[in-house]
Amino acid sequence: MGAPDRSRPRYAGQLDLRHGAVDMSHGSGGRAMAQLIDELFRRHLGNALLAQGNDQALFRPPAGRLAVSTDGHVISPLFFPGGDIGCLAVHGTINDVVMCGAQPLYLAAGFILEEGLPLAELARIVESMAAACNDARVPVITGDTKVVERGKGDGCFITTTGVGVVADGIDISGDRARPGDAILVSGSIGDHGVAILSQRENLGFETEIRSDTAALHDLVAAMIEAVPEIHCLRDPTRGGLASTLNELAQQSGVGMQIREQAIPVRPEVAAACELLGLDPLNVANEGKLIAICPAKHAQRLLAVMRAHPKARDAAIIGEVFEDPLHFVQMETAFGGNRIVDWLAGEQLPRIC
């Protein structure tokens, strides 16, 4: 917020960020709520549009088509190796907005806080959100805070809505995969899911794996600049690579053939999955994307991706072919062939 804002009330004392906790008054609409917003949310997330101080943020849309996406974040635990719910709520929504080739502009954030959440934890979350917004150059311009009674939430839920703009001439959509197209992935898969799992108290295994949570708009911009002919982009979050490829195959009405040996998986992730009986293809990612483009542009796209810090391990993992049944199939490292199916049921609840 910068300089003291005289339009705001003064408070008896500062928020006790060391020992304090969220209580019902922080969602009441009264002075306590105003103080929480001022001393935590505005202080860290502040920007000119948020400073308008109204129930909405006003801005003039730029030329082009607007892209909007919303995403609720309920991850447990709130803090995990490589990130926390705050930065995840920024990255996740930015990624959803940009998978049509958009440049992200703004975010809106809704917080549902549980009575008893330590203010120190909330401060860490908001600071992490602010850092993610600054890195991404995408500010939170409006927000909302509610508090629910102890036991009715799980610390903190964050819903973020993002808006972006797509330049004319860009046509990226899940229904555009065509037979002959190449399928690329931007890096190793399964890191996020395994990092979260390693923190679940009832699993008790230790790993060096960190979540890959990251905003991918700069990568997407570089990819589109080099290969405007990209047909599809999607981030393989819940359900992992397997479910995302199946979504795209269904939407485009095509089949896909991928090669197990071409898919980047860290040995630690493969080992953890082996131990837990999971398939890395089904495990969630938060900083990876799948790209589908005409085969003749695939090498150029791959080179651009590998030159970008967020896709150093990018790989061409397969191709699209004609298949009236829209199956995704995989040549196993073993030499056989098998179907890669949607994830059935719930592999890991509350992963994002």
Partner 1 sequence: MHDGAMKYIDEFRDGELARRLARTIAAEADPAREYRLMEFCGGHTHAIYRYGVQDLMPANLRFVHGPGCPVCVLPISRIDQAIAMAVEHGVTLCTYGDLMRVPASERMSLLKSKAGGADIRMIYSTQDALAIARAKAGRQVVLFAIGFETTTPPTAVALKVARAEGLGNFSVFCNHVLTPPALKTILSSAGPDGVQLDGILGPSHVSTIIGSRPYDFVPAAFGKPVVIAGFEPLDVMQSTLMLIRQINQRCCSVENQYTRAVTRDGNRKAQALMAEVFAPRDSFEWRGLGHLPHSALRIADAYADLDAELRFPVVPGQGKEIKGCECPSVLRGVMEPTDCKLFGTVCTPENPMGACMVSSEGACAAYWSYGRFRKPKPAAEAAVA
Which pairing describes strands 255-259 and 328-331: parallel, antiparallel, or unpaired? parallel
Of 189 and 298, which CB lies nearer to partner 1 in the complex structure? 189
- The distance of closest approach from Cβ of residue 212 to partner 1 in the complex, given in angstroms and rounded to an integer, is 14
Find out whether the peptide bond into 77 is cis, omega within 30 degrees of 0: yes
Of 216 and 273, which CB lies nearer to partner 1 in the complex structure? 273
Who contacts 339 (Cβ-Cβ below 8 Å, separation ≥6)? Answer: 327, 328, 329, 330
Who contacts 3 (Cβ-Cβ below 8 Å, separation ≥6)? Answer: none
- The distance of closest approach from Cβ of residue 244 to partner 1 in the complex, given in angstroms and rounded to an integer, is 17
Of 169 and 345, which CB lies nearer to partner 1 in the complex structure? 345
Of 28 and 337, which CB lies nearer to partner 1 in the complex structure? 337
Q: Which residues pair with 330 in a beta bridge?
A: 258, 338
Q: Which residues lie near partner 1 (CB under 8 A)?
A: 188, 202-203, 257, 260-267, 270-271, 274, 276-277, 280, 313, 315, 325, 327, 329, 331-339, 341-342, 344-345
Positive or negative: CA dihedral 266, 272, 275, 280: negative
- The distance of closest approach from Cβ of residue 256 to partner 1 in the complex, given in angstroms and rounded to an integer, is 12
- The distance of closest approach from Cβ of residue 80 to partner 1 in the complex, given in angstroms and rounded to an integer, is 18
Q: Please give the torsion angle defined by the CA atoms of residues 92, 93, 95 and 96, in that order, rounded to the nearest 10 degrees.
A: 120
Of 144 and 341, which CB lies nearer to partner 1 in the complex structure? 341
Q: Which residues pair with 107 in a beta bridge?
A: 140, 162
Q: Which of 165, 57, 172, 167 is nearest to 104 (CA)?
A: 165
Q: Which residues pair with 185 in a beta bridge?
A: 290, 315
Angle at 61 between CA 60 and CA 67, to 5 degrees: 150
- The distance of closest approach from Cβ of residue 169 to partner 1 in the complex, given in angstroms and rounded to an integer, is 35
DSSP character for 61?
A: P
Of 263 and 284, which CB lies nearer to partner 1 in the complex structure? 263
- The distance of closest approach from Cβ of residue 272 to partner 1 in the complex, given in angstroms and rounded to an integer, is 10
- The distance of closest approach from Cβ of residue 118 to partner 1 in the complex, given in angstroms and rounded to an integer, is 22
Of 34 and 270, which CB lies nearer to partner 1 in the complex structure? 270
State the CB neighbour count (10 A cutoff) for residue 11.
14
